[in-house]
A and B are shown apart, each in its own frame.
Chain A
């Protein structure tokens, strides 16, 4: 699946002032950095993901750069040739090209080639090839002439063929094309004549080549708009033979562009080519990706401001001049398959546009650069602020926030979120909040170190979140044992599944709460915490008669205030018995006992006043307490019976139930008596079946 993504420009400065546009775009030894050689006097080093130049060098007035600057991957130096014969070598530290190393050669240079893993090669206009090292050792050495008089090199490319460098260059003479393959392991130069087939009168506009095992696959774009393939053997079968072997080119793709304009071609991989040019004579220029295997158009992008007819491709980026601006279009391609090729256009749109935001945002390309994280966040903010209002005012703030969430630091997200929440609420506010929460959670899942606690807390406190709006939030909080967040969730969410409620309960009853006692005390108390401790003090007096220590504990508050507050949050949450029961069985018996002791304590507190309520802002109601006692006993009775610590508790609960039954039966008796009284009362009324009264109408 090939897909072109949103383009971005490398500089606002117009480039390609010369008639031939840019001289070249070359890779550097650092990823994401490229050397751009302008047609005039300038070489610029760009960091693509940052869309900014890292350095710029110019030759003196009167001098002209004649071949694109390259990077020596072995030394990290940059090499450029000006005035055809003068070689310059420099590094990042150098400022002025005039003062750097200079070597004047005896012949005119056509191109310098440099690819990783080998020393740069210098191709002279006469067809001779030298290694850079050898050349620098003796700059004025004699350079032989390889090609004939009127032959002109049209195109060249440097490969590594089985770890050995190989150079191919195409020459033209009177409409005939010749291919030369120079291999350096054997220093053999093979010459081939390209047979154009029937379309003799068409000019070849652009070449590109790729390696295909034993052959170099040379693709050429003719002025008839068709792409032809020529297979050139890497290992010439019969080198001794004097006669030049001929290679025939075959039609690969028919009429992909209109032939009249300046078109360019670049192989992307073994099945895909990128073609730059207008698809129809009248139309604007387009960048198209073609699948050569299935002969299908994969994706096409219009470039309305025109191009210079040049196209470079490195890694995942396509470079071209769009108008006068150097433009980078990220390109992605997966293994091609028939299904993928056929369903391509539709699918490509989905996958391409949905994952990427529809605006030029420098964060967009950041995902493709690997070294982007080093840059300072403060600068970024400044920069983004200046870009946002001017470039994309219509982009919803939530979308921007979502993209920030994907990349930025917790602190920055927090600041941005606060800003976002301060703005006016839209009708879909709660779904937006849900999306933001999900965005945060997704990043939590992928980056274990990322946990934007404050941002999540902020979101929960907006009172619009529910469990179903951001599934996974509580799971993450459980994973991080973020008790405070769980408490907040329990208080705010109306729809927590019983399993999660139970998991919270399990955590609250575990030692996790105790451990954090010291450090968290402050925060919890601030957070609307319902303290039980003031009650605990005065309730000790009633229970002195019991000898067992455990019972004493049940009547003084059996848990610390913090835990009590957490448990209260659980008591308040909604549940359905049948779903809760199975999960309650998983809680260890000791914890069940503790919880029961706490519930019993609450019950006793309830009994202290006539209204059967607890003090505090949001105390659990008597019904909630009773329901939870019943649930816990239902779920764990057999276990509890076996535990000696629970014995006294069960006994007191038993006594309490017994007393309740007594009360109810008494109440029922009273009800019957009342009914009899009511009947008697009715009979009394019935006696007045007849009376004579005075009525006055007004």
Chain B
């Protein structure tokens, strides 16, 4: 298969934002996740937990609440006092509306989905009617004396529970007045704290209100009498979140110590009808505050400051004990944050508010020849650096908006990036060691924002997928550009294209949205060439092979298709592998393939990677079946072993680099791998609550 020099890059100083809210939608089996920087991500739990959509964050839009209403409509509210509805098709914000109650701390959609409640800083609870196109303010409830931090509807929609500071109010929806006010004990382990914050409430259909608070208590209240029924002290720190299953037979709470507790309604004795809530399982998958939890029918979902989204299946609810029953921990976005200029060996790192441009170093080590290539050492060697990597440039965005996407041209002379409202193009000039940056102004009016940006191989063309479903082609000239063409979205759809691929000869452009198939456009003739048939699972990566113009498509269920663009059909190899099926270990990987590349000299090779492995598929070799070993971590010990294993099967896998955010071929014998060790992320997080190990 060959040896490579690998530039192992660990200086991508990326730290994901902490998770603030999760909202589970039972109808579509999708999960909305909001982060502290205002980003909202949509995960499709049916599609192997793939993050299929995202809405870029905004500095002033700290999301405090997230909920689904009226079926598939997603709302968020935050400390800027605005309620936002998202357009899940166009990947845009539909509208935002000020609730005029100061920062919004909580939001809840009514059981019917037709009404929305928000709890505000000024102590008001506001009721909004959800209309087909917008939401409309209906009325205020009796104002409370302090901020409303949590809200929950009674399943019948007649009452709500609102958690505030030191007390819980129960409101009657009709009258809008508080029926009960349940005072919460401030005592914390015998010590009176200053305040007791009700971080979460849940209203059950039998009238029980469950509250979680900053004193570490989970309390059960009888809303009819306004009395405390039961208290569970679960943590020495705050209990910050609660979520109840639809059947109301189990709920989950998350604590600031990183523990998630599962409570279940179980019979007091076997075969008795009397049931009580029992704390059944503790889970410690987080190191930091669990800010939010959700309860899907089969799993407990939690997220918090440590940035991991943890999906813990409930083993008793999982029918088939397959790989879906495994714990999922999602840390990194399922999209590329890194682009690479092969010619100049540049890496462009995308952060939320800035871009970093690095130049890779080099080594002068010369070694043995292996085949046609000169390879400077043997497997596992670290080569002496003759030149270290340089940080060439940091490009900061102006304004509060996060960067959506970015790209550096293969020649290294152009950088393009976009925020939600503006598209930027920069020209880089290299004069010896000096770098100068020029802004390309007067972007065309149609180019307001982009979801994906791609340069052609020769850096003469720029392809931009806008968030309205259209694709733009720009011709780049020395220091300026010319708008060539716009492919409008298919009639009737406004689905944004999240992924782009350009053929190395520049003739073909492939674009894929989240649900429809992959469209292939002819750049020469400026028209739609063909559409690859739609597949059940979303596309995670796209690439067009040189010379053959075969389009390689990776899906979230780990299937890979090869589609010949000129022939408008799947290739023989693709049919063969679909016929035989992928190795079961391949299908059981739990991170999607985020990048596909090709070897310029070896047309049979496909390079691809996910977060935990890098793989070269050699199409000339036989496919592995389930009996063969897909990946052998041990290096071969003798020569015959080497030969045997080299010819064994088509999938050559390396798991040396992880978590792997980016890997690509710079030239025939050189790879670049960008790793982001989890320890480095944790080191940059605020310290977790310290638990004394000795002498409690």
Contact = CB atoms under 8 A, between A and B. Distances in A.
Interface of A: 660-661, 663-665, 667-668, 671, 682, 685-686, 688-698
Given A682-B679, A690-B8, A695 B3 contact: yes
A383 B383 CA distance: 99
A664 B4 CA distance: 53
B380 A692 contact: no
Given A661-B695, A667-B693, A682-B679, A694 B380 contact: yes
Given A692-B7, A693-B380, 5 more contacts: A689-B389, A690-B10, A692-B8, A694-B4, A694-B383
Given A686-B680, A697-B1, A698-B636, A692 B695 contact: no
B361 A692 contact: yes
A660 B379 CA distance: 53
Interface centre among A665, A689, A692, A695 (most CB of B within 10 A): A692
A663 B694 CA distance: 9
B379 A696 contact: yes
Lowest 3 CB-CB distances: which A-B pairs, in order?
A664-B695, A696-B379, A667-B694
Given A667-B694, A690-B9, A693-B383, A698 B1 contact: yes
Interface stretch (B156-164, B370-378, B470-478): B370-378
B44 to A, nearest CB: 32
A111 B695 CA distance: 99
Contacts of A692: 5-8, 361-363, 382-383, 385
Given A660-B695, A661-B695, A690-B11, A698 B646 contact: yes
Contact of B645 (A661, A663, A690, A698): A698
A696 B671 CA distance: 11
Contacts, number: 101
20 contacts: A661-B695, A682-B683, A690-B360, A690-B361, A690-B388, A692-B7, A693-B381, A694-B5, A694-B377, A695-B5, A695-B6, A695-B379, A696-B1, A696-B2, A696-B4, A697-B4, A698-B642, A698-B645, A698-B646, A698-B652
Given A693-B8, A694-B6, A664 B694 contact: yes
B310 interface: no
B36 to A, nearest CB: 24
B343 interface: no
Interface string B1-30: 111111111110000000000000000000
Nearest to A679: B683
Nearest to B377: A694
B7 A690 contact: yes
A667 B389 CA distance: 43
Contacts of B361: 690, 692
A690 B645 CA distance: 30
Contact of B652 (A660, A691, A693, A697): A697
A279 to B, nearest CB: 43
B71 to A, nearest CB: 47
A665 B385 contact: no
B671 A695 contact: yes
A665 B635 CA distance: 48
A682 B635 CA distance: 28
B656 interface: yes
A428 B389 CA distance: 76
Nearest to A688: B10
A661 B383 CA distance: 52
B632 interface: yes
A668 B679 CA distance: 23
A682 B389 CA distance: 21
B448 to A, nearest CB: 37
B196 interface: no
Interface in B673-696: 679-680, 683, 692-695
A549 B430 CA distance: 93
A539 to B, nearest CB: 28
B2 A697 contact: yes
Contact of B635 (A660, A663, A688, A698): A698
Contact of A698 (B377, B632, B694): B632
Contacts of A664: 694-695
B236 interface: no
A689 B379 contact: no
Nearest to B1: A697
Contacts of A686: 10, 680
Interface residues of B, number: 46
A695 B671 CA distance: 9
B6 A693 contact: yes
Nearest to B696: A664
Interface centre among A686, A689, A698 (most CB of B within 10 A): A698
A612 B7 CA distance: 52
A10 to B, nearest CB: 47
A668 B692 contact: yes
Contacts of A698: 1, 632, 635-636, 642, 645-646, 652
B616 interface: yes
Contacts of B683: 682
Contacts of A685: 679
Interface centre among B1, B7, B10 (most CB of A within 10 A): B10
B331 interface: no
Interface centre among A663, A668, A682, A695 (most CB of B within 10 A): A695
Contacts of A694: 3-6, 375-383
Nearest to B13: A689
Contacts of B459: none
B219 interface: no
Contacts of A660: 695
Nearest to B645: A698
Interface string B623-650: 0000000001001100000100110000
Interface centre among B5, B680, B694 (most CB of A within 10 A): B694
A369 B127 CA distance: 83
Contacts of B632: 698
Nearest to B693: A671
B89 interface: no
Contacts of B383: 691-694
B654 interface: yes
Contacts of B695: 660-661, 663-665, 667-668
B110 to A, nearest CB: 43
Contacts of B379: 694-696
A682 B677 CA distance: 11
Nearest to B682: A682
A661 B642 CA distance: 60
Contacts of B8: 690-693
A691 B645 CA distance: 28
Contact of B11 (A668, A689, A693): A689
Nearest to B384: A692
B635 to A, nearest CB: 7
Contacts of B654: 695, 697
Nearest to B646: A698
Nearest to A670: B694
A696 B381 CA distance: 10
A658 to B, nearest CB: 12
Interface centre among A661, A668, A671, A691 (most CB of B within 10 A): A691
B300 to A, nearest CB: 29
Nearest to A689: B11
Contacts of B635: 696, 698
A667 B379 CA distance: 44
Nearest to A671: B693
A694 B11 CA distance: 19
Nearest to B634: A698
A685 B695 CA distance: 32
A589 B132 CA distance: 78
A668 B388 CA distance: 41
Contacts of B382: 691-694
A588 B385 CA distance: 80
A86 to B, nearest CB: 74
B356 to A, nearest CB: 13
B2 to A, nearest CB: 7
A694 B376 CA distance: 8
A697 B10 contact: no
